[in-house]
């Protein structure tokens, strides 16, 4: 592997787009305008299941400013086949088709789009559009349908989300024969919604001659482009999707959502530019984290060695797709256990399909696992951290292969030291501050480090600067800043000389931005493209000045002060302008696709690890829980930018606190609808809820995972927090609560 | 349905309830012709194309739409534009001084007090208002008085760090 000059990487740079974001100049999808812009407002079904009988559009069309109302009855004819509605993240099954027919599959299903000259007219008309429905019996509570639980269907999406491995050894026997056992079947968390601060919006610019420029809130410009082209029968080159700034997504933008469909349909039909922005309530009418019920059984020898593990998850899905996530596979990657039984089942009910939400699967599965280990430690009268160290996995036992790198032990040790873990008195209810009980809890975290194929392009411009491009988005993760750092190093130039351009489907292919694989995936492509450009420039130099550069190789040249020169002999140089002249082109480009080596991928388990330590205070009379401090020690390879990296982890920790103590979408199963689709009743932590959060990045070197040696950080900050908090609550109060979020009334 | 008596009319300006609103926005006197039901937030975003002020809920639940009105922080989504006739409004676009970033804006960048940036204009306007109110005496009180501004990216601690860097509480001793 070629070594990369690491001058910019490792610097705690502030976000390059910072000034645009703090002055309001950064524009998001629903903020682009056109002189003839129309506003679309979506109408949603008010029943969970049945058929539309009649939509009374006639009177509404007479209201001022109303241009058109689209329903399943008058929508244009669209693609025929299911696969044409599919996208890079579609679960196995039949994708939901907006305005397809009269059938209602879930509460809140989009059933009409009102298009008007102004936002207010569209909104008003949508609010008074009367619709008759024929209701059918429905069920939305999967825990009442556990008899319907079945294995998930396999499909394209299951390639990236492996189903559980086969049973190993003899779980039942080993469990029964082990002296210490822990068992529970009531681990549960409810539905959660992504709720990015920016609501989903699409502005479709009707450019004429069949061409569309679409500003979409998405995590994948190419994914949206593919969907629009397929569904509306347009050619790829006529559809350009731009996502310059994305106001958070956390998974909600991994699939094209219905505002995209609506906006494009209306623009094509009306031959005008159309913007469709969802309301906050409508943000609860597509994907969500599925409520999941889990069982766990763990047994150990008296010395703490774990002998048997059974982890079973039963999750909700829709009637039309089998959404899956990796919930139960983690235990045997984290801990060597000879006898395992891991199961994962789905129960379809009348809801929209679940959708990956920040740390899908991992944040679900680690909760029972890491809580059960805490219970086991108490049964064994052993420190919970010592129990993890006793069962430390030197290799991935579930696949019988080594880790590409794993500094989890350092996470445990450095984290415990800095947090003061061993100051804890193990007895529950033994620590207090005034009328508040104090508890410490810890848990382990893991998240897979994937690399997918991606392409990037590097260019020497006519101004003698460098430009690097990828279609990737920046959903707030710091992609722009980090990619600029990576490109600068790969080219061997300063930050001011490179510009990273992104968020446009016209640019080289990048997969959807998720799974914590962006730095690894796009970063590797950027490195490859920059190296290809350096090679090309050297070739041109050799053409221009053959003898001087004859023996030089790509790694032996520098690009400084507008010249390509020999690193050893800087006075042997040729100017960028001369290179451009010799090439006979306005600019010199190189692009490269990075495809990770499948053999390497097969040989190693690649994952980021973490150890989380949490202190809670619980009001003894009121049961109110407060996370007073939390520390996460993370091993994730090379940290490209410590500042944005820290924010990723801290943001994940806030999500962990939210999952443990705050957020949940509540369903009224008699009505089949969500009861709190708004930010007042869907609780997320506010500033006053967040206290001392600390992050340690332990050193970890990884030559295998990708050329940057860097693992993703988007998810690893969350996964360990909920169990660590639940364990701390136990330590404080002596109560084991297996449901999330934990509310004060459960402690009273 | 009481609205159906309005005849079909695609030209909004012909609705006879249109009002003229005159306000100063970021130091500039501005006049708009608006129906009375347009919120200040939508007037800014749709009519003046000042999209720096964000909409996160439209229901007064998130703080993303916070602007300064006559020196006080308000939620522009819960404010009808016509009710602010003759007022002076400062939006995020008017917080910097002639291209020189406000100290809070600088601190937000320095402390990495945002990720996606969507809650940021509201956080900054709210913090400007909170500082002028001068009630908060310490970090905990700043946290409390900033709690109407949600941040889904979880940049909460950095936001408070950035504010604390700039805010010097008045001491009443
Ligand atoms: S948009 Fe005004 S408070 Fe959310
Ligand atoms: S920075 Fe994204 S919501 Fe606050």
- At residue A618, φ and ψ (nearest 5 deg) are -120, 125
Structural domain includes residue B7: no
Give the gap in angstroms from C-alpha B42 to the nearest C-alpha of chain A: 8
Cross-chain residue pair A128–B3, CB shorter than 8 Å: yes
Structural domain includes residue B6: no
Structural domain includes residue B4: no
Structural domain includes residue B2: no
Is the preceding omega at residue B47 within 30 degrees of 0, hence cis? no
What is the side-by-side strand order in the sheet with B28-34? B28-34, B19-25, B88-90, B66-69, B72-75
Is A730 within 8 Å of A736 (Cβ atoms)?
yes
> What is the pLDDT at residue A6?
52
CB proximity under 8 Å: A 679-718 to B: 679-680, 684-690, 692-693
Collapsing DSSP states into helix, strand and coil, what is residue A408? helix
B103 Cβ under 8 Å from any chain A Cβ: no
- Domains defined for chain A, CATH in brackets: 18-24+452-595 (3.30.365.10), 32-137+196-279 (3.90.1170.50), 145-192+288-450+602-747 (3.30.365.10)
Do B34 and B79 have their domain in common? yes
A334: closest CA among A378, A395, A377?
Answer: A395
| Residue A248 alpha carbon, nearest atom of ligand 2 | 2
Q: What is the token pair recorded at A305?
A: 């060695």
Is A362 within 8 Å of A260 (Cβ atoms)?
no
Q: Which domain holds residue B126?
A: 103-172
A128 Cβ under 8 Å from any chain B Cβ: yes
Do B77 and B40 have their domain in common? yes
Do B34 and B86 have their domain in common? yes
What residues of A are annotated to the active site?
715
Q: Which residue of B has its CA nearest to A475?
A: B116
Do B44 and B72 have their domain in common? yes
Is A22 within 8 Å of B125 (Cβ atoms)?
no
Do B88 and B28 have their domain in common? yes
Q: How many domains does chain B have?
A: 2
What is the side-by-side strand order in the sheet with A103-104? A103-104, A50-55, A131-135
Cross-chain residue pair B6–A652, CB shorter than 8 Å: no
Cross-chain residue pair A22–B105, CB shorter than 8 Å: yes
A475 Cβ under 8 Å from any chain B Cβ: yes
User: Which residues on adjacent β-strands are paired with residue A528?
Assistant: none
- At residue A308, φ and ψ (nearest 5 deg) are -145, 140
Structural domain includes residue B3: no
- How far apart (Å, rounded) are the C-alpha atoms in residues A707 and A322? 35
Q: Residue A186 to residues A659, A718, B105: CA-CA distances in angstroms?
A: 17, 22, 47
Look up the pTM and report it.
Answer: 0.96
Structural domain includes residue B31: yes
- How far apart (Å, rounded) are the C-alpha atoms in residues A558 and A583? 19
Q: Residue B67 to residues A213, B24, B75: CA-CA distances in angstroms?
A: 31, 13, 7
Do B37 and B85 have their domain in common? yes
Do B115 and B73 have their domain in common? no
> What percent of chain A is helix, strand and coil (3-state, nearest 5)?
30, 25, 45
Question: pLDDT tens, A421-475?
Answer: 999 999 999 999 999 999 999 999 999 998 899 999 999 999 999 999 999 999 9
Separation of CA A67 and ligand 1 centre (Å): 28
Is A379 within 8 Å of A581 (Cβ atoms)?
no
B5 Cβ under 8 Å from any chain A Cβ: no
Q: What is the token pair recorded at A79?
A: 């693609």
Collapsing DSSP states into helix, strand and coil, what is residue A267? helix
Among protein residues, the one with the nearest Cα to ligand 1's atom 3 is B60
Is A412 within 8 Å of A611 (Cβ atoms)?
yes
Cross-chain residue pair B46–A280, CB shorter than 8 Å: no
Query: Among residues B94, B111, B137, which one ends one of the domains?
Result: B94
> What is the pLDDT at residue B7?
39
Do B56 and B88 have their domain in common? yes
Q: Residue A320 to residues A89, A135, A602, B123: CA-CA distances in angstroms?
A: 15, 19, 32, 41
> What is the pLDDT at residue B10?
46
> What is the pLDDT at residue A517?
85
Beta strand pairing call for B28-34 and A66-70: unpaired
- How far apart (Å, rounded) are the C-alpha atoms in residues A413 and A391? 15
The CATH number of the domain where B88 resides is what? 3.10.20.30
Cross-chain residue pair B92–A280, CB shorter than 8 Å: no
Q: Which residue of B has its CA nearest to A67?
A: B10
Structural domain includes residue B130: yes
| Residue B116 alpha carbon, nearest atom of ligand 2 | 2
- How far apart (Å, rounded) are the C-alpha atoms in residues A572 and A614? 58
Query: Among residues B94, B114, B143, which one ends one of the domains?
Result: B94
Would you say the CB of residue B112 lies under 6 angstroms from ligand 2? no
**Cβ-count burial B51-83 (b if 16+ within 10 Å, e if not):** bbbbbbbbbebbbbbbbbbeeebbbbbebbbbe
- How far apart (Å, rounded) are the C-alpha atoms in residues A658 and A675? 19
> What is the pLDDT at residue A79?
76
> What is the pLDDT at residue B173?
43
CB proximity under 8 Å: A 373-432 to B: none
- How far apart (Å, rounded) are the C-alpha atoms in residues A482 and A484? 5
- How far apart (Å, rounded) are the C-alpha atoms in residues A536 and A539? 5
The CATH number of the domain where B142 resides is what? 1.10.150.120
3-state secondary structure chain B: CHHHHCCCCCCHHHCCCCEEEEEEECCEEEEEEECCCCEHHHHHHHHCCCCCCCCCCCCCCCCCCEEEECCEEEEHHHCEHHHHCCCEEECHHHCCECCECCHHHHHHHHCCCCCCCCCHHHHHHHHHHHHHHCCCCCHHHHHHHCCCCCCCCCCHHHHHHHHHHHCCCCCCC
First to last CA, chain A: 59
Q: Give me the residues of chain A with pLDDT under 50, please.
A: 1-4
Do B67 and B121 have their domain in common? no
DSSP for A537-589 reads HHHHHHHHSHHHHTT--GGGEEEETTEEEESS-TTSEEEHHHHHHHHTSSSEE
Separation of CA A286 and ligand 2 centre (Å): 21
Cross-chain residue pair A477–B151, CB shorter than 8 Å: no
Structural domain includes residue B27: yes
Give the gap in angstroms from C-alpha B173 to the nearest C-alpha of chain A: 26
Q: What is the token pair recorded at A194?
A: 């992504």
**Residues contacting residue B17 through CB under 8 Å, at least 6 positions apart:** B35, B36
- How far apart (Å, rounded) are the C-alpha atoms in residues A577 and A587? 10
How big is the A-B interface in CB pairs under 8 Å? 206
Give the gap in angstroms from C-alpha A37 to the nearest C-alpha of chain B: 10
> What is the pLDDT at residue A58?
96
Do B126 and B87 have their domain in common? no
Do B30 and B79 have their domain in common? yes
Do B86 and B116 have their domain in common? no
Residue that the structure tokens 């079945």 belong to:
A150
Is A612 within 8 Å of A442 (Cβ atoms)?
yes
> What is the pLDDT at residue B8?
41
Query: Among residues B94, B122, B137, which one ends one of the domains?
Result: B94
Would you say the CB of residue B77 lies under 6 angstroms from ligand 2? no
Question: Mutate which of A24, A115, A632, A678 to disrupt the B interface (most B C-beta within 10 Å)?
Answer: A24
Q: Give me the residues of chain B with pLDDT under 50, please.
A: 1-13, 173
């Amino acid at each position: 592997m070629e070594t990369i000059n690491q001058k910019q990487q490792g610097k705690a740079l502030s976000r390059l787009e910072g000034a645009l974001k703090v002055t309001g100049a950064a524009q998001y999808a629903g903020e682009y305008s056109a002189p003839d812009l129309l506003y679309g407002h979506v109408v949603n079904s008010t029943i969970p299941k049945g058929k539309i009988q009649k939509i009374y559009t006639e009177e509404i069309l007479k209201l001022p400013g109303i241009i058109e109302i689209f329903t399943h009855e008058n929508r244009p004819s669209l693609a025929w086949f299911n696969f044409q509605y599919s996208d890079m993240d579609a679960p196995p099954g039949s994708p939901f088709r907006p305005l397809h027919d009269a059938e209602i599959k879930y509460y809140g299903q989009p059933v009409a789009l009102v298009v008007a000259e102004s936002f207010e007219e569209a909104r008003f008309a949508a609010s008074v559009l009367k619709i008759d429905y024929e209701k059918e019996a429905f069920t939305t509570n999967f825990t009442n349908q556990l008899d319907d639980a079945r294995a998930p269907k396999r499909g394209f999406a299951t390639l990236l989300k492996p189903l559980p491995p086969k049973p190993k050894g003899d779980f039942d026997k080993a469990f029964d024969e082990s002296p210490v056992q822990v068992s529970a079947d009531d681990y549960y968390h409810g539905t959660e919604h992504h709720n990015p601060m920016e609501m989903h919006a699409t502005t479709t610019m009707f450019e004429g001659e069949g061409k569309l420029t679409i500003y979409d809130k998405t995590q994948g410009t190419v994914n949206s482009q593919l969907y629009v082209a397929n569904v509306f029968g347009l050619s790829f080159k006529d559809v350009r999707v731009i996502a310059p700034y994305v106001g958070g997504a956390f998974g909600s933008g991994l699939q094209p959502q219905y505002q995209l469909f609506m906006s494009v349909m209306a623009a094509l039909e009306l031959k005008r530019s159309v913007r469709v922005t969802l309301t906050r309530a409508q943000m609860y009418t597509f994907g969500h984290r599925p409520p999941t019920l889990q069982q766990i059984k763990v047994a150990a020898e008296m010395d703490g060695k774990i002998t048997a593990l059974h982890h079973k998850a039963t999750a909700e899905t829709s009637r039309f797709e089998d959404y899956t996530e990796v919930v139960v596979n983690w235990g045997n990657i984290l801990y060597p256990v000879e006898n395992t039984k891991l199961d994962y089942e789905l129960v379809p009910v009348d809801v929209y399909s679940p959708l990956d939400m920040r740390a899908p699967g991992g944040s679900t599965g680690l909760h029972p696992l890491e809580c059960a280990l805490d219970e086991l430690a108490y049964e064994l009268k052993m420190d919970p951290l010592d129990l993890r160290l006793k069962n430390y996995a030197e290799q991935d036992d579930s696949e019988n292969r080594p880790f590409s790198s794993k500094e989890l032990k350092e996470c445990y040790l450095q984290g415990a030291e800095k947090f003061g873990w061993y100051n804890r008195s193990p007895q529950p209810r033994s620590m207090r501050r005034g009328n508040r009980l104090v508890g410490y809890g810890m848990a382990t975290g893991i998240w897979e480090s994937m690399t997918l194929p991606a392409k990037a392009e590097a260019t020497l411009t006519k101004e003698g600067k460098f430009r690097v491009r990828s279609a990737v988005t920046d959903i707030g993760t710091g992609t722009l800043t980090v990619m600029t750092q990576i490109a600068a190093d790969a080219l061997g130039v300063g930050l001011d000389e490179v510009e990273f351009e992104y968020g446009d489907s016209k640019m080289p292919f990048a997969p959807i931005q998720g799974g914590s694989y962006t730095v690894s995936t796009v970063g590797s492509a950027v490195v490859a493209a920059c190296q290809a450009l350096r090679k090309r420039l050297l070739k041109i130099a050799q053409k221009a000045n053959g003898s001087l550069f004859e023996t030089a190789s790509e790694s032996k040249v520098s690009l400084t002060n507008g010249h390509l020169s020999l690193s050893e002999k800087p006075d042997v140089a040729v100017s960028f302008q001369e290179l451009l002249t010799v090439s006979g082109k306005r600019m010199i480009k190189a692009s490269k696709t990075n495809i990770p080596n499948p053999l390497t991928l097969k040989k190693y388990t690649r994952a980021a690890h973490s150890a989380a330590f949490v202190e809670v205070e619980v009001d003894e009379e009121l049961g109110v829980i407060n996370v007073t401090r939390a520390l996460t020690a993370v091993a994730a390879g090379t940290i490209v930018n410590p500042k944005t990296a820290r924010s990723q982890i801290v943001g994940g920790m806030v999500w962990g606190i939210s999952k443990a103590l705050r957020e949940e979408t509540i369903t009224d199963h008699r009505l089949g609808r969500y009861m709190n689709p708004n930010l007042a009743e869907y609780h997320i932590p506010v500033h006053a809820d967040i206290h001392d959060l600390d992050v340690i990045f332990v050193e970890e070197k990884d030559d295998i995972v990708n050329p940057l040696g860097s693992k993703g950080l988007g998810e690893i900050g969350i996964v360990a927090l909920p169990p660590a908090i639940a364990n701390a609550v136990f330590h404080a109060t002596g109560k084991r609560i297996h449901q999330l979020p934990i509310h004060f009334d459960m402690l009273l | 349905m009481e609205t159906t008596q309005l005849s079909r009319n695609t030209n909004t300006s012909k609705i006879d309830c249109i009002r003229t609103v005159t306000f100063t926005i970021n130091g500039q006197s501005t006049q708009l012709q608006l129906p009375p039901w347009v919120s200040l937030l939508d007037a800014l975003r749709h009519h003046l194309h000042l999209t720096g002020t964000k909409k996160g809920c439209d229901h007064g639940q998130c703080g993303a739409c916070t602007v300064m009105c006559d020196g006080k922080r308000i939620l522009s989504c819960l404010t009808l534009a016509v009710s602010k006739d003759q007022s002076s409004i400062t939006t995020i676009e008017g917080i910097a001084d002639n291209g020189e970033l406000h100290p809070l804006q600088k601190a937000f960048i320095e402390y990495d007090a945002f990720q996606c940036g969507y809650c940021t204009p509201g956080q900054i306007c709210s913090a400007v208002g909170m500082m002028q109110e001068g009630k908060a005496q310490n970090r905990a009180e700043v946290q409390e008085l900033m709690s109407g501004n949600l941040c889904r990216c979880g940049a909460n601690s950095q936001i408070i760090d950035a504010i604390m860097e700039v805010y010097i509480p008045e001491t009443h001793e």
